[in-house]
Structure 1
Amino acid sequence: MTLEPGFQTFSGIYEAGRAQVVWTRLIDDLETPVSAYLKIGNGRPYAFLFESVEGGAWRGRYSVIALNPDLVWRCRGDVAEIAEGEDIAGGRFTTQPGGALDSLRDLVAASRLDLPPGLPPMAAGVFGALGYDMVRLVERLPKVNPDTMGLPDAVMIRPSVVAVFDGIAQEILLATTVRPSALTAEGAWAAARARLEAVRLDLTAPAPPPAGGTSPEPDRFTTPVSREDYRTIVDRAKAYIAAGDIFQVVPSHRFRAPFPHDPFALYRSLRRTNPSPFLFYLNFGDFQLAG
């Protein structure tokens, strides 16, 4: 496995106290982002898949798998928390001083680094999801909806390894971020090689059998909204449109059904039944997001 940059260039940057990326390129004429995620990310907490659509009239160029974070940031309301290193697996988060937005700005600033020319911008960085309620940190809004799930308002990770799928070049870029530490340059180089080699070996293994199973029967779906209540919502939307207050609205209607299968199987079904230019699957450990 050939690494870039060479060790001499790497050691000069490392000794100067600057963060950098080390990377290798793999031929990608057999692998897909979905099959790769099944090999290197599925079931691992804080492993994310960001996928560009393939097929049809358009073909997205980049898809990304981010995994093995060295830092996880989350917030609830205006309180931010961070877990690093071994504390991530143990779920031990430390409350950060100041507000959540200031903490997020500090994280982004501390995670910045200069990427060499030719590398896609997602080869390193901070990845995650910011919830709609984050807007309450910049705008005073009434709290009319109860929080029934108790989830964080935002979760961001700083992955130690990123796999970037280039649909045009037909290659996978494996990149790992190296930050100055107590290790020597030789030790940091060896650790970077080991991280990339572990992911490369996982990619060469056969994909595990896809988890699936039968879908819920239609009569097993339930909803907390009655037909009459939903009609009221639609009538209210029509009244707003007629008054000129809005010109478009999409009334939501949540349906529920048991899904005892692998959550990633649900993501795979979404790709087929409701494709969009960009799709994501985020594993936050005790809950997952797909869309």
Structure 2
Amino acid sequence: MRIAWRRLNVQKDAVDLYYHFVGASQVGVYLDSCGKGRYDIVAWNPLISRSLNHGGGWSPFAALDDLVAMVPLLDQLPDDAPPFLSGVIGYFSYEAAWDEEWIGEPKDRKDSLPDVSLMIPGKVIVLDQLKKESWMVVSTLKEDPEPEVERLVEKVKALQAAEPIHMGNVIEPMVAKTDRETYHKQLEQIHAYISRGDIYQANLSYEVEGKVQGDSFSLYRLLRETNAGRYAAYMKFPGYTILSSSPEQFIRQEKNLIETRPIKGTRPRGKTQEKDRDYKEELATSEKDQAELVMIVDLERNDLGRVCEIGSVNVPELFAINPHPTVWHQSARITGRLTEGVSIGEVLRMTFPGGSITGAPKIRSMQVIHELEGERRGIYTGSIGYVDPRGFSEWNIAIRTMVWVGEEIGRLSYRVGGGIVADSDPGLEYEETLAKGKGMLQAIDKWTTTPATRR
């Protein structure tokens, strides 16, 4: 593989870059910080790709390491180069964990989406929002990449703004497949498991789906406005598209340093400043939510301890209250130093999926979730991210994430859920799921000429 790169002292808009360079292409990825982080990544033209399903006889995390090993290290890079320039981008669905642990008989597929999709992109543009710079990278299997990277530079310099957002149409309204009463009954079953000592906490979710027509990237542009997430992503594949506005980091690697930032605890945003402050204070002083977070922090400390040097795992941040467009979240930060020789694939194998979206203990709570939810989660609570062979990697928890199956006309769906503990109130837990889905419904409502939900 051969790689060429250029650094350009020109700042462009990532939406414009994706629109013009990827557009209607079959495969393209936009890792979007929504103005909350330093870097945005647009990648397309896959040189090598892997799509995997459970039971294929190939560990999805070993497949990631295999792909990373194919990418040569870029030399003569300045110290301030972005953490991703060339490497692997993709996603792991929640069910990728089935290849590592026995959770139960896999549920039937309702679509053809692979459990894992990874690619080495042939073209990458990285925007540095702090330094107002653009980095262009072209990778090839054999031919000289220099002429193409020069052409890419000239195209970036001449880039025009994207066209206005195209309105869409909701053919069938977005409908929750689990009603309030059913959710309450499932919550009572979790309480029974907790009372018997099987689990301490489980994350229960349900699906909302409808049928839509239009341009999925236009919908994503509105989603990033109504529900901007630090770890957002737009991923286009043949026959399906992922639109994520995730606020949650799963794993971040910087050389031998590793961290995770689980979210546990949610309150809606208030309609007035006073009510907003009340919700924030309520979350900050909630013993129930703090206890939930501590459970997950202990779980994540244990997970990181499996891949980190003894004594290096710490919790530098606990009970942080973070604002998001439609909710307040409580989070923590756990860090550690990787044991020498541990690959990113091994890190993910030992920690995936994130404990904040399973419960504790992890495997037993996943078995309970599998029993009660009765269907595949897919990308929901899986992870989207990248690996650069220089020792950098970042993956989100794919919450606040929609999936569009089809092309112009497609089935649009998302899942919402929450952590259930012994003293969870059924009514409040269901209301929390509605708050988590609010930003996605707002985006659909702004995009469509017809109501997103039944009035």
Report the TM-score, using the length of structure 1 for normalisation.
0.72
CA distance in 1, matches of 2:136, 2:195: 54
Equivalent residue runs for 1:204-215 within 5 Å: 204-213=158-167
Q: Which residue of 2 aligns with 1:177?
A: 139
- From 17, 25, 32, the equivalent of 1:36 is 17
Amino acid aligned to 2:228:
P
1:224 pairs with 2:186:
no
- From 209, 216, 229, the equivalent of 1:263 is 216
CA distance in 1, matches of 2:187, 2:150: 53
Secondary structure of 2:213 counterpart: coil
Equivalent residue runs for 1:1-291 within 5 Å: 19=1, 21-29=3-11, 31-54=12-35, 59-79=36-56, 101-115=61-75, 116-118=77-79, 119-143=81-105, 145-178=107-140, 181=142, 183=143, 188=144, 191-198=145-152, 200-201=154-155, 204-213=158-167, 216=170, 220-240=173-193, 249-291=202-244
Q: Note closer, same or farther for the CA distance 1:245–1:124 as it changes in structure 2 (3 Å cut).
A: same
Q: Note closer, same or farther for the CA distance 1:51–1:127 as it changes in structure 2 (3 Å cut).
A: same
Aligned length: 242
* Contact 1:213/1:261 (<8 A) preserved: yes
* Contact 2:91/2:116 (<8 A) preserved: yes
* Contact 2:60/2:116 (<8 A) preserved: no
Amino acid aligned to 1:49:
Y
Amino acid aligned to 2:18:
Y
Note the residue ranges of structure 2 that are not aligned, 5 or more in a row.
Answer: 245-455
Q: Note closer, same or farther for the CA distance 1:208–1:230 as it changes in structure 2 (3 Å cut).
A: same
* Contact 1:22/1:175 (<8 A) preserved: yes
Cα distance, 1:66 vs structure 2: 0.8
Secondary structure of 1:122 counterpart: coil
Q: Note closer, same or farther for the CA distance 1:250–1:42 as it changes in structure 2 (3 Å cut).
A: farther
Q: Note closer, same or farther for the CA distance 1:167–1:194 as it changes in structure 2 (3 Å cut).
A: same
CA RMSD, Structure 1 to Structure 2 (Å): 2.8
Amino acid aligned to 2:39:
Y
Cα distance, 1:156 vs structure 2: 0.9
Q: Note closer, same or farther for the CA distance 1:26–1:199 as it changes in structure 2 (3 Å cut).
A: closer
Secondary structure of 1:255 counterpart: strand
Q: Note closer, same or farther for the CA distance 1:200–1:252 as it changes in structure 2 (3 Å cut).
A: farther
Q: Which residue of 2 aligns with 1:92?
A: none
Amino acid aligned to 2:28:
A
* Contact 1:130/1:154 (<8 A) preserved: yes
Secondary structure of 1:201 counterpart: helix
Q: Which residue of 2 aligns with 1:9?
A: none
What is the aligned-residue identity percentage? 24
CA distance in 2, matches of 1:46, 1:244: 46
Amino acid aligned to 1:192:
E
Amino acid aligned to 1:65:
V
Secondary structure of 1:117 counterpart: coil
Cα distance, 1:244 vs structure 2: 6.3
Render the CA deviation track for 1:157-211: whole Å, top value 9, x for unaligned. 11111101001110111112355x3x5xxxx1xx432244146416624234233
* Contact 2:31/2:234 (<8 A) preserved: yes
Cα distance, 1:280 vs structure 2: 0.5
Q: Note closer, same or farther for the CA distance 1:282–1:230 as it changes in structure 2 (3 Å cut).
A: same
Amino acid aligned to 1:79:
G
User: In proportion to residue count, which structure has more strand?
Assistant: 2
* Contact 2:42/2:125 (<8 A) preserved: yes
CA distance in 1, matches of 2:24, 2:74: 31
CA distance in 1, matches of 2:106, 2:182: 17
Segment of structure 1 superposing worse, 270-279 or 227-236: 227-236
CA distance in 1, matches of 2:51, 2:154: 30
Q: Note closer, same or farther for the CA distance 1:255–1:196 as it changes in structure 2 (3 Å cut).
A: farther
Q: Note closer, same or farther for the CA distance 1:161–1:144 as it changes in structure 2 (3 Å cut).
A: closer
Secondary structure of 1:236 counterpart: helix
Note the residue ranges of structure 1 that are not aligned, 5 or more in a row.
Answer: 1-18, 81-97
CA distance in 2, matches of 1:246, 1:211: 46
